[in-house]
């Protein structure tokens, strides 16, 4: 993984960048010394550094054994969760197994059409498992989806066999889902107490669905481990420190919106995961960057106009993949009716690269500061690196702008109103 900040210098000179990094070192130390608000939720920092990559009473071997059971049966796994209980593994599977149809997702919305689609799909599948993911078991969206899907599973297989096909990821000792799991004898994986939802992708919350998709979770964790040393150094060569410092400095200079832009559609859900990570961690107490995303070159024909010439309260982070595993070369056409023969002999990778370079220059000329985070290829290892890098960056940025990056008090506001309108007892 590499980071290029050269297109920030037209807007922040080198002395301001150096100053911003120096001023942000104390925020890095707050993370590393666990001395800030919410520091009891820094368990995600430990996972890549443990010999067995475990935290809170689980083993990778057990996760892989259950995942292999599902893979051996060519079964469909329906993951039921929302927020951090959905976006992390959705992101990883879309990046590494983008065309799999064996991992389905429910409970991330309250759409009858979506749930009925899931029911229609699994009706045609011979082998079906459910993976409800909820620390409490009472979150409305996944809770009502699980109730419907569990009834379907019991009708299909009978209560006893259905119980063997439900793997619950939940609190180790308490909560409605834990009580149900204990009462029915369900297999379970724990949600570690020291890891909040949006940081939980490298816990069983994300690892089990990722493994069930046929992805090597050890290589993902090894990638995260490789990012630990560079992202925890207390010097200017720390990419997470550098990025966090620039984000905070640009916010101070009126750049209130950060757009994460990628030229690879496999990273669409990486941006969705990043938006939750950033929005819930930093957006509080009247401050924080607003996270937005774009998938280019598609969105250059929609959002591109606004990014180029709209309000100048934005900056951009490009997430770039240098090489693809597929090689498609444009051939020459004798008639050249489309006037594209000048591209003959070039691969799509080469063309995509020039699209990125041209966009970065155009947006710089359009007074949009931008920086680039790049990986060579989308692999388990590089994805693990990116996950840890962005988690560190957001944690550091949160402390730098003066907020607790590990709570989310604003999330409860809509729930209280929804419960009142639905007539929930006691609300």
* pLDDT tier at 90, thresholds 50, 70, 90: very high
Q: Please report which confidence band the pLDDT of residue 413 belongs to, taking 50, 70 and 90 as the band edges.
A: confident
Looking at residue 95, what is its pLDDT? 98
Q: How confident is the model at residue 412 (pLDDT cuts 50, 70, 90)?
A: confident
Residue 143: other Cβ atoms inside 10 A: 18
pLDDT at 404: 97
- Domains of the chain, start order: 2-35+220-410 (3.40.50.10490), 44-215 (3.40.50.10490)
* pLDDT average, residue stretch 78-88: 97
Q: Is 341 within 8 Å of 332 (Cβ atoms)? A: yes
How far, in Å, CA of 401 to CA of 399, rounded? 5
Which pLDDT does position 236 carry in this prediction? Answer: 76
Q: What percent of the chain has pLDDT over 70?
A: 100
Beta-carbon neighbour count of residue 124 at 10 Å?
7
325: exposed, middle or buried (Cβ count in 10 Å: 0-12, 13-18, 19+): exposed
- Quickly state the pLDDT bin for 422 (edges 50, 70, 90): confident
User: pTM of the prediction?
Assistant: 0.95
Peptide linkage before 322 cis (omega within 30 of 0) = no
pLDDT at residue 103, as a whole number: 98
The C-alpha atoms of residue 417 and residue 410 are separated, in whole angstroms, by 12
Q: For residue 261, list its beta bridge partners.
A: 294, 318
Pairing label, strands 2-4, 370-375 = antiparallel
SS (H, E, C) the chain: CEEECHHHCCCCCHHHHHHHHHHHHHHHHHHHCCCCCCHHHEHHHCHHHCCCCCCCCCCHHHHHHHHHHHHHCCCEEEEECCHHHCHHHHHHHHHHCCCCCCEEEECCCCCHHHHHHHHHHHHCCCCEEEEEECCCCCCHHHHHHHHHHHHHHHHHHCHHHHHHCEEEEECCCCCHHHHHHHHHCCEEEECCCCECHHHCCCCHHHHHHHHHCCCCHHHHHHHHHHHHHHHHCCCCCCHHHHHHHHHHHHHHCCCCEEEEEECCHHHHHHHHHHHHHHHHHHCECCECCEEEEEECCHHHHCCHHHHHHCCCCEEEEEEEECCCCCCCECCCCCCCCCCCHHHCCCEHHHHHHHHHHHHHHHHHHCCCCEEEEEECCCCHHHHHHHHHHHHHHHHHHHHHCCCCCCCCHHHHHHHHHHHHHHCCCCC
Task: Output the pLDDT for position 55.
Answer: 78
Which pLDDT band, with edges at 50, 70 and 90, does 325 fall under?
confident
Q: What are phi and psi of 372, to 5 degrees?
A: -130, 130
d(CA 89, CA 61): 18
Phi, psi for 189 (deg, rounded to 5): -125, 145
Cα Rg, the chain, nearest whole Å: 23
pLDDT of 141-153, one tens digit each? 999 999 999 999 9
Mean of all residue pLDDT scores within the chain: 95
pLDDT, residue 235, reads 79
* Mean pLDDT of the region 366-376: 97
Q: What positions carry a catalytic annotation?
A: 280, 301, 415
User: Going by DSSP bridges, is the β-strand pair 257-262/290-295 parallel, antiparallel, or unpaired?
Assistant: parallel
Residues 6+ apart with CB under 8 A from 268: 94, 262, 293, 295
Which pLDDT score is estimated for 124? 97
For the ranges 50-59, 116-125, 297-306, 405-414, the lowest mean pLDDT is seen at 50-59
Rounded to the nearest 10°, the torsion over CA 107, 109, 113, 114 is: -50
* Cα–Cα distance, 2 to 376 (Å, whole number): 9
> Would you state the pLDDT for residue 176?
95
Sign of CA dihedral 221, 227, 228, 229: positive
pLDDT digits (tens, 9 = 90+) for 17-64: 999 999 999 999 999 999 999 999 999 999 999 988 887 778 999 999
Q: What is the pLDDT of residue 234?
A: 85
What pLDDT digit, counting tens, does each position of 236-287 carry? 799 999 999 999 999 999 999 999 999 999 999 999 999 999 999 999 999 9
């Amino acid at each position: 993984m590499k980071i290029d900040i050269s297109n920030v210098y037209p807007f922040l000179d080198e002395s301001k960048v150096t100053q911003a990094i120096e001023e942000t070192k104390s925020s890095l130390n707050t993370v590393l010394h666990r001395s800030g608000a919410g520091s009891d939720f820094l368990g995600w920092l430990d996972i890549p550094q443990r010999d067995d990559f475990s935290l809170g009473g689980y083993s990778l071997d057990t996760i892989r054994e259950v995942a292999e059971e599902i893979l051996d049966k060519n079964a469909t796994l329906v993951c039921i969760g929302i927020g951090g209980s959905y976006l992390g593994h959705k992101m990883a599977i879309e990046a590494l197994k983008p065309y799999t149809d064996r991992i389905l997702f429910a409970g991330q919305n309250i759409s009858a059409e979506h749930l009925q689609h899931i029911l229609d799909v699994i009706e045609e599948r011979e082998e079906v498992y459910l993976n409800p993911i909820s620390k409490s078991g009472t979150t409305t969206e996944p809770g009502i989806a699980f109730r419907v899907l569990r009834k379907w599973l019991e009708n299909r297989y009978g209560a006893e066999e259905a119980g063997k096909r439900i793997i619950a990821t939940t609190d180790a000792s308490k909560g409605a889902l834990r009580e149900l799991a204990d009462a029915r004898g369900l297999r379970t994986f724990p949600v570690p107490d020291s890891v909040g939802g949006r940081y939980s992708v490298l816990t069983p919350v994300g690892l089990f669905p990722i493994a069930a998709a046929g992805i090597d979770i050890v290589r993902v964790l090894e990638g995260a481990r490789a990012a630990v040393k560079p992202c925890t150094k207390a010097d200017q060569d720390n990419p997470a420190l550098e990025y966090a410092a620039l984000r905070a400095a640009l916010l101070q200079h009126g750049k209130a919106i950060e757009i994460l832009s990628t030229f690879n559609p496999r990273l669409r859900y990486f941006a969705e995961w990043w938006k939750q990570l950033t929005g819930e961690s930093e957006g509080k107490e009247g401050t924080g960057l607003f996270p937005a995303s774009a998938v280019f070159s598609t969105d250059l024909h929609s959002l591109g106009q606004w990014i180029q010439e709209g309000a100048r309260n934005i900056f951009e982070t490009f997430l770039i993949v240098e090489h693809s595993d597929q090689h498609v070369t444009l051939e020459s056409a004798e008639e050249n009716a489309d006037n594209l023969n000048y591209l003959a002999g070039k691969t799509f990778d080469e063309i995509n690269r020039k699209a990125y370079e041209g966009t970065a220059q155009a947006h710089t000329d359009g007074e949009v500061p931008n920086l680039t985070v790049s990986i060579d290829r989308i692999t388990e290892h590089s994805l693990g690196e990116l996950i840890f890098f962005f988690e560190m960056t957001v944690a550091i940025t949160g402390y730098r702008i003066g907020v607790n990056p590990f709570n989310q008090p604003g999330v409860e506001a809509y729930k209280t109103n929804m419960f009142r309108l639905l007539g929930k007892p006691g609300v």
